[in-house]
Amino acid sequence: MRAAVLHPDLSLTCEDRSVPSPAAGDVLIRVAAVGVCGSDTHYLRHGRIGDHVVMGPIVLGHEASGTIVAVGEGVPSGRIGERVSIEPQRPDPDSAETLRGEYNLCPAMRFYGTPPVDGALAEYVTIGAAFAHAIPDTVSDEAAALFEPLSVGIASVRKAGIGLGGSVLIAGAGPIGLLCAQVASAAGATRVVVTDLDAGRREAALRFGATAAPDAGEDPGAGFDAFIDASGAPAAIRSGLGAVRAGGRVVLVGMGADAVEMPVPLIQNRELILTGVFRYANTWPAAIALAASGRIRLDDMVTARFGLAETEAALNADRIPGTIKAVVVPGAATEHEEDA
């Protein structure tokens, strides 16, 4: 099979590799689509994210879908031919975190595309059968690949506690911010304000669930039930904290500065609930239901498509004005295309 491989010198090549064999409990999946995440781009440009460093050749990519073509021991053969969305996690099934249902926090997690674990920018991958989620025919391969970032949005909105008639301020109108806006709207929020410095992204926010999208330098209003930071910008976090009502919730999901100065008296006096989001757990059933119902518009977020040999261009597509989400289609035989 072919795979896009990132090397420690930050070069990226398309190489021949052996098709992996599914171990007991695993399935082998022919990859149909892979979404490009900011973390993939960060590895390409910097070779590391925090303690995770590219020390040897690695296949990136963790937003993926495909078709099961073989199964390992213990997996029903009837699953062959099933279209699936891949939840790219391999937690230790016996860890305390997994046993209490918080498997995303498992310290022994092996996560697609996180050194040294290979990801999905290849023609075939394996995953535990329970993490290959069957999708309905009404959901496209590209939408199914984006269940991964959608799951981050679902986890964020759940942490924010947003419900019917609720209000939320979201900082950052990148893919995660746009998905948070859509999920919040689907959850019943009637006031969804998304801020960003980029005018094009603010326009996109209005298309994807925001009721207002002011410039990040403007006053977004006050009295929000929750604030979700999807920017990682210290200034946005400090501003958002001041916009939340007493007893409200603050959810940090954006990756940015390692440390942010916090207004401790404000947090104490308003009894704000401050938490983070690290990936997701138990989100795929909700993602499938939301996408199948049409409440979340994933296909509309795809703005460019690339073949596997064009992976480096796909990882740099964020530099193209108007890009929301680039997708790599390993089976594509044509050069990349961009949506108008």
User: Same domain for 210 and 157?
Assistant: yes
Share of the chain above pLDDT 90, in %: 95
Residue 237 lies in a domain: yes
> How high is the pLDDT of residue 256?
82
309 with 222, same domain: the answer is no
pLDDT of 333 above 80: no
Q: Which residue reads 């090397």 in tokens?
A: 7
CATH number of the domain encompassing residue 136? 3.90.180.10
Residue 100 lies in a domain: yes
- Domain for residue 187, yes or no? yes
Q: Are residues 90 and 181 in the same domain?
A: no
The tokens of 68 are what? Answer: 């099961």
User: pLDDT of 54-99, one tens digit each?
Assistant: 999 999 999 999 999 999 999 999 999 999 999 999 999 999 999 9
Whether 142 and 167 map to the same domain: the answer is no
Residues 42, 67, single domain; the answer is yes
Q: Is the pLDDT of residue 337 over 70?
A: no
Do residues 33 and 137 share a domain?
yes
Give the pLDDT confidence score for residue 336 in this predicted structure. Answer: 63
292 domain residue, yes or no: no
Same domain, 18 and 59: yes
Co-location of 133 and 8 in the same domain: yes
138 lies in the same domain as 162: no
User: Is residue 320 situated within a structural domain?
Assistant: yes
| Domain coverage including residue 60 | 2-146+298-338
Average pLDDT value over all residues in the chain? 96
In the predicted model, is pLDDT for residue 203 greater than 90? yes
Task: Render pLDDT for 112-133 as a digit per residue (tens, 0 to 9).
Answer: 999 999 999 999 999 999 999 9
Q: Is residue 319 part of a domain?
A: yes
CATH code, domain with 257: 3.40.50.720
pLDDT in tens, 282-296: 999 999 999 999 999
- pLDDT confidence bin for 255, thresholds 50/70/90: confident
* Whether residue 332 has pLDDT greater than 80: no
289 within some domain: no
252 found inside a domain: yes
> Amino acid identity, residue 320?
I
Residue 158 neighbours by CB under 8 Å, 6+ apart = none
Report which of 79, 182, 85 is spatially closest to residue 142, judged by C-alpha positions: 85
| pLDDT tens digits for range 133-152 | 999 999 999 999 999 999 99
Q: Are residues 229 and 184 in the same domain?
A: yes
93 and 190 in a single domain? The answer is: no
| Cα–Cα distance, 135 to 30 (Å, whole number) | 15
Per-residue model confidence (pLDDT) at position 74: 98
3-state secondary structure the chain: CEEEEECCCCCEEEEECCCCCCCCCEEEEEEEEEECCHHHHHHHHHCEECCEECCCCECCCCEEEEEEEEECCCCCHHHCCCEEEECCEECCCCCHHHHCCCHHHCCCCEECCCCCCCCCCECEEEEEHHHEEECCCCCCHHHHHCHHHHHHHHHHHHHHCCCCCCEEEEECCCHHHHHHHHHHHHCCCCEEEEEECCHHHHHHHHHCCCCECCECCCCCCCCEEEEEECCCCHHHHHHHHHCEEEEEEEEECCCCCCCCCCCHHHHHHCCCEEEECCCCCCCHHHHHHHHHHCCCCCHHHEEEEEEHHHHHHHHCHHHCCCCCEEEEECCCCCCCEECC
Under 8 Å CB-to-CB from 110, ≥6 apart: which residues? 89, 90, 91, 117
Q: What is the pLDDT of residue 340?
A: 42
**Across 223-234, average pLDDT:** 97
The arithmetic mean of pLDDT across residues 245-271, rounded, is 94
Q: Structurally, how many domains does the chain consist of?
A: 2
Say if residues 225 and 249 touch (Cβ distance below 8 Å): yes
Same domain (yes/no): 108, 202: no
